[in-house]
Structure 1
Amino acid sequence: MSDCCYTLPDDLSWTVTAPGNRRAVLSHRPELMLVAFSFDKGAIGALHSHPHTQVSYVAKGVFEVTIEGVTTKLASGSSFIVAPNLIHGVVALQEGLLIDTFTPRRDEFLEGPG
C-alpha cells in the first residue's frame, strides 16, 4: 500500500521527544487524546510502557513495531493496539508519521517535553 494522504494543521506546536522524533497533541479530553508523532528515517521510539491503552495508525512510512518482544513491520495504512503496561517501541525504517490515541489522556503530554 502506498503512503496514505494526510494533512496536519500548519500551526501545530511540536515537542521534540528524542533525536529525530517529535510529537504534537491534536486534541484531547480527560478520557481520550489524539497525538501525532513524526519520525525521521532511522529514528527510534524507545521501548517504554504506560498505564494507558494506545491505538496507533501508521499515516506515513514503514515502522518496525515491537510489543512485548514481538517485532512486526507495518506500513502506511496499518494500525496496532497496545494494552496498558505492555513494553513497546518503534523504529522508523522510513520518514514516518504515527497518529496515536490514548485512553485516558496522557496528562504529561500537556506539561511539555518528555
Structure 2
Amino acid sequence: MGCRPAFPSLTPPGAVIRFGAAKEASTMRIAAMTGFSSLNMLPEEKVTEKITRRILVGEKEMMVFWKMQPGAHAALHSHPHEQMFWIIKGKMDFRLGNERRICGPGDLGVIPGGVEHEAWFPEETEVVDIFSPVREDMFTGQDHYLRRG
C-alpha cells in the first residue's frame, strides 16, 4: 500500500506513478528509485542460507533491510561508505574498530567510512542499514564478507 499522504495529493486520481523509473544513481549503473512504495514491494535477495535483504536505492544513499537468522555473520570488513544501522528486532553482537557491544531493538550506530567492523547474530534479527554513497559492491556480488559467513 505504501505511505499514507500527510497532505492532500497533487497527483490526479487514477494517475499512474512508476516507482523505480528514475535516473541512474550517481555514476553507477544502478537505477535510483523515486516515489512511494512499501517494504514488501522491494525484491528480497537471498544472500546466504542465513541472510536475506531488500534494497532501496536513491541517488546519493541506499537503505538495506536485513533479515538475519541465528548464526549469521558479517565477517570483518571496511568500506569507504558511511554506514548507519538501526536494530528493529533481535540482537547483534557488533564490533566497531576496537569496541564491541551487544545491540538490541531500538539501538542505533554510525560507522565512519574506512573503519573495520564485524557483526554476529545469535538470534533472528532485523536490521536497517543506510549507506552513503550507494554501495555498488552489493549489486555486483563483490560483498564477499557477507557471503563467507
Task: Give the TM interval when normalised to the shorter protein.
Answer: 0.7 to 0.9
Corresponding residue number in structure 2 for 1:16 = 46
Gaps of 5+ in 1: 1-7
1:47 deviates by 1.2
Call closer, same or farther: CA 1:18–1:70 in 2, change over 3 Å. farther
Q: 1:38 aligns with which of 52, 67, 90?
A: 67
Q: 2:111 aligns with which of 82, 86, 96?
A: 82
Higher strand share: 1
Distance 1:106 1:57 in 2: 18
Of structures 1 and 2, the one scoring higher in RCO (CA 8 A, sep 6+) is 1
1:30 deviates by 2.8
Residue identity matched to 1:97 = E
Corresponding residue number in structure 1 for 2:100 = 71
Corresponding residue number in structure 1 for 2:91 = 62
1:3-23 CA-partner distances (Å, limit 9, x unpaired)? xxxxx6334322233341122
Distance 1:17 1:48 in 2: 17
Distance 2:116 2:140 in 1: 23
Aligned length, in residue pairs: 106
Residue identity matched to 2:75 = A
Q: TM-score by structure 1 length?
A: 0.82
1:10-58 CA-partner distances (Å, limit 9, x unpaired)? 3432223334112210x22231111111100121111111100000000
Q: TM-score by structure 2 length?
A: 0.64
Q: Are the equivalent residues in 2 in contact too, given 1:59–1:96 (CA < 8 A)?
A: yes
Residue identity matched to 1:17 = V
Gaps of 5+ in 2: 1-37, 144-149
Q: Does residue 1:28 correspond to 2:57, yes or no? A: yes
* Root mean square deviation of aligned Cα: 1.8
Call closer, same or farther: CA 1:28–1:38 in 2, change over 3 Å. same
Identity %: 23
